[in-house]
Structures are given as structure tokens and as C-alpha cells.
Chains A and B, each alone.
Chain A
Amino acid sequence: MNLPLLLVLGGFIGLDATSAPQLMISRPIVAATLSGLAFGHPAEGMLLGVILEAFSLVILPVGAAKYPESGTAAAAAAAAYASVAAPGLDAPVLFLSAAFGLVWERVTGATVTWVRRLNERLVEWRPSPGRVVSREVERRHVAAMCADFLRGGLVTVVGAVAGAALIGIAAPIWTLRAGAALGIMFVGAAAMVAASLPLFGGWRERRLAFSLGILCGLLMVLFR
């Protein structure tokens, strides 16, 4: 595992989630694909990203809410998958990586809170004589972003190393069939995609659009 590369990738993903520029490379579907690409498993990274994204769809970063940070966790999970998996789609390892990602996002979410507390101290200052206020504001703001970059990189690297170690131990003793592992993941993903309907107004308000979507989806499945 190329840890310096993962540190930089995780840094950018962590930075993108809140600090800058919020282009959404921090979404699991992008972060896991990028991490998978960096470590030679882009398709499996994307698949892992789809599963973790389904679970992240309903998380809304509204106001000062504390929430799991799924982007860095997805990058760590994809890197862990890449370091343990056999060539091709290794369903049990993918399942274990997804489960690890769902646990690790709690840890990464906690580190976001720590950085925000650190920022409180960074930006609460009194101008001292001789200091140029405008430059001090710039300096402290950039310092806060550097701290967030470092946080993102570190939680991704630590997560990937811890994840690879845990999955490396768990995968050989795993008993569920590959088909069952994939099935359970897709059952969970389907439930979470359906659970996102309230974001768009819910069943009562949007039943027509939703039903039309179901119909089109069924036709696509039939004619594939």
C-alpha cells in the first residue's frame, strides 16, 4: 500500500468534504473509486462506493449537525480492500470492507468535530499591536485548512492500515458464500435508496414520479 499517496488522496478528500472546494470528490462513490484506482481495483472501488453511497444518501450536513464522514472512510475501505482482495471481484472481502467503512466513518466523523473545536481556538484571537489583522485572518484560515487536510490524510491512512489488518484476519475465516455477501449488500443498498424518497417529498407527494421511475427501471431490466 502506497501510504504517502493515500495520505495526499485522503487529505484532498477530507478537505473537500467541508473546507474547500466542495466539488464532491468526498462522496463515497467518487472517493472509493479514486482510492480503488490508485491501488489497482477501480471497478471494485466503484462497487464499494455505490454500497457506501447508498448508506450516505440520507445524511444531510445541515447546520452544526455532527454526522459520520463517509468520504475518507470509503477511501480507507477501498484501499483496505485492494490490499487484501484476490484478483477480480472478491465478494467476502468487499462485504468486510463495506462493514469496515460503515464503522470507520464514525471515527472520521469524530475527527471532524475535533478539527472544528481546534478551529474555534484558531479563529478566536485578539489582534495584538503591530500585527496586520487582514494577514492574520488569512494565516489562521489557511492554517485551519491545513489542519483539515492533515486530518483527512491521517484518518484515511490509519483507517486503511487498520482495515487491511482486520480484514486480513477476518477474510480467511469468513463462512458466508460470495453470493450471500453480495446479496446482503444489495439488500441494504436497495433499502437505503428507497429510504431517500422522503428527501424528494415522500410517497404521498411524489408517488406518480416514483411509480413512473419504477416502470422505466423495470423496462430497462427486462430489455437489458
Chain B
Amino acid sequence: MFLRSFAVQGSWNYRSLIGTGFAFALLPALREIYRERGELDAAVERHNGLFNSHPYLAPLALGAVAAMEAEGESPALIDRFKTAIRGSLGTLGDRLIWATWRPLCLLIAIALAAAGAAWWVVPVAFLVVYNVGHVWLRWWGFRAGLREGRNVGEKLRHSAVGTAQRGSSVVGAFLVGLALPLLVSGGVLADGMGWEWVAAASAAALLGLRRGPALRSPLAIVLVAVAIFGCLTGLLE
């Protein structure tokens, strides 16, 4: 079941979100609990509906639901439990992983590249650091869900997840600061960059700090426009 949880988003869609993936991942437990084919099919159908969660926290829900099914809780109660936790597991995971842990690990990789690390060190360091946290979170959630069952929400409330997110945010902000001078100085290039480009990159960093993520699309358009301009001027010459 734990291994199947890695594929919980395999059939992600706009109607049932990860509902079918949830049923797919839960199947080994349901097969153990329901030996009769009719009961098993009914249980699978119950779980093959709308469900959502951050993928890394889905094992927590899977473990808890498997425990509730094993304890013989009523389908209505299990449904209510799933409805109650799906919002918080999504929000918590989005904030903790997508908005904090992943960019933090990527900034480590960018800082390493900008500091002149060998090409293979950069992706390997990222994959190792990121996945230590990733797999640990999945395993912790799965164990907590199995152990606590329907009380897993309480466990989550008293966990160190909030503190971890705050701490990671501080480290992330430090890494943004660390990566900028390394990147601006052109450290990733053997010859560095000329002073005029260092000045331009510093000004661009200030603009980035001011505008934030909204800068992405305009900047991408500018980069593509420069590429087109570079070609058109070549054609006209």
C-alpha cells in the first residue's frame, strides 16, 4: 500500500481528482479486510469517488482509512472522515512542500551550480536532499495514519509540521540571499561575467524582489522577444 501511494495521482482528473488513485492505493488493504468479492467491490466503489490531498500526505489518509476499515467503522463515518481531512491535507502539503521544501532544495542546487560545483553534483544533491524529506514525510504520514486511525487529525495538529515550515522558510530566505550574489557574479561560468552584466543582474534582482512571482511571464516574453530580435537583425543585415 505504501509503494502504491507513490502513484496516487496516476489518474488525476478534474472531476474526482485523486479519487481513483486513492482506491488503487488502498486496494491491498481492502483485499485483506474484505475476502468476499461482493464486499470488496462495494468497498472499492465507495473509495472510487472524489478525493483530494497533497500526494505526499495521501499516505496519512490511506493509513487512517485502512485502519478505520479494519476496525469495522461504518462507511458513512469513513466518508465523513475523508471529506473532513481532504482540504487540510491539500493546503498543508501545498504550503509545506510545494511552496517551501521544494523551492528550498532547488535553491540549494542553484547555489551549488552558481558556486561552480561539478555538473553532476547539482542534480544529485537536489535529488538526495529533497527525497530524504519527501520519503520521510510519506512514511511518517503512513505510520501515523495506521496507528491513529480516525484520530490522525489530532496527531497532525500537535505535530511539528508548522514549526518545520517556519524553519524551512527562514532557511529558504537565507538561500535566496546566498544564491543571488553567486548567480549575479556569473559564478556558474568559467570566465564569470562582465561588470555591466553584474550591474544589470543586480538591478534585475531588485526588480524581482519588488515584483515577486508576477514577474515570470513578462520576463519570459522578453527573453523570447530578444531571441526573435537577435534572429531578425541577422536576417536584415
Seen from chain B, the residues whose Cβ lies within 8 Å of a Cβ on chain A are 6-17, 19-21, 23-24, 27, 30-31, 37, 40-41, 44-45, 48, 52, 55-56, 90, 94, 98-100, 102-104, 106-107, 109-111, 113-116, 119-120, 122-123, 126-127, 130-131, 134, 168-189, 193-194, 196-197, 200-202, 204-209, 211-216, 219-220, 222-224, 226-227, 230-231, 233-235, 237
Main DSSP-derived SS at the B contact region: helix
CB-contact partner of A213 in B12, B126, B173, under 8 A = B173
B180 engages A209 (CB within 8 Å): no
Chain A to chain B contacts (Cβ below 8 Å), 6 pairs: A34-B123, A50-B109, A55-B220, A183-B197, A183-B201, A190-B204
Q: Which residues of B contact A100 (CB under 8 A)?
A: 227
> Contacting B102 at CB < 8 Å: which of A18, A24, A120, A127?
A24
What is the total of A-B residue contacts with beta carbons within 8 Å? Answer: 343
Q: Which residue of A lies closest to B189 (CB)?
A: A182
Give B34 Cβ to nearest chain A Cβ, in Å. Answer: 9
Enumerate chain A residues within 8 angstroms of B193, measured Cβ to Cβ. 179, 182-183, 186
What residues of chain B lie closer than 8 Å to A92, measured between beta carbons?
230
Q: For residue B226, which residues in chain A have a CB less than 8 angstroms away from its CB?
A: 95, 99, 176, 184
Additional pairs, 18, CB under 8 Å, beyond known A95-B226, A198-B213: A22-B55, A23-B131, A29-B123, A42-B120, A46-B122, A54-B110, A54-B183, A57-B106, A172-B234, A173-B231, A189-B183, A191-B215, A193-B179, A193-B180, A195-B216, A197-B208, A206-B169, A213-B180
What's the least CB distance linking A137 to chain B, in Å?
5
Q: Is A102 at the interface (CB under 8 A from chain B)?
A: yes
Q: Give bound CA distance, A27 to B13, whole Å.
A: 22
Q: Which residue of A lies closest to B170 (CB)?
A: A209
Q: Which size class do A's interface residues fall under?
A: 35 or more
Set of chain A residues within 8 Å of B175, measured between Cβ atoms: 213
User: How near does chain A come to B121, taking the closest CB pair, in angstroms?
Assistant: 9
**Contact of A69 with B by CB under 8 A:** no
Chain B residues near A40: list those with CB within 8 A.
none
Known A46-B122, A200-B176: A188·B100 in contact at CB below 8 Å: no
Query: For the complex, what is the distance from the CA of A181 to the CA of B226, rounded to whole Å?
Result: 9
Q: Min CB distance, A79 to chain B, in Å?
A: 16
Query: A214 and B177: CB pair below 8 A?
Result: yes
Contacts of B134 in A (CB 8 A): 22-24
Q: Would you call A29 and B109 a contact (CB within 8 A)?
A: yes
A170 to B231, CA, bound (A): 6
- Interface contact B37-A132, CB-CB below 8 Å: yes
Residue pair A123, B20 in contact (C-beta under 8 Å): yes
By a CB distance below 8 angstroms, the chain A residues around B174 are 209-210, 212-213, 216
Chain B contacts of A217 at CB under 8 A?
Answer: 111, 177-182
CB distance from B186 to the nearest CB of A (A): 6
Measured CB to CB, the nearest residue on chain A to B11 is: A144
In the complex, the 7 A-B pairs of residues with the closest C-beta atoms, listed nearest first: A213-B177, A194-B208, A173-B234, A206-B173, A217-B181, A183-B197, A144-B11
Interface centre among B103, B114, B200, B230 (most CB of A within 10 A): B230
Q: Which among B11, B106, B126, B231 has the highest number of chain A CB atoms within 10 Å?
A: B11
CB distance from B205 to the nearest CB of A (A): 4
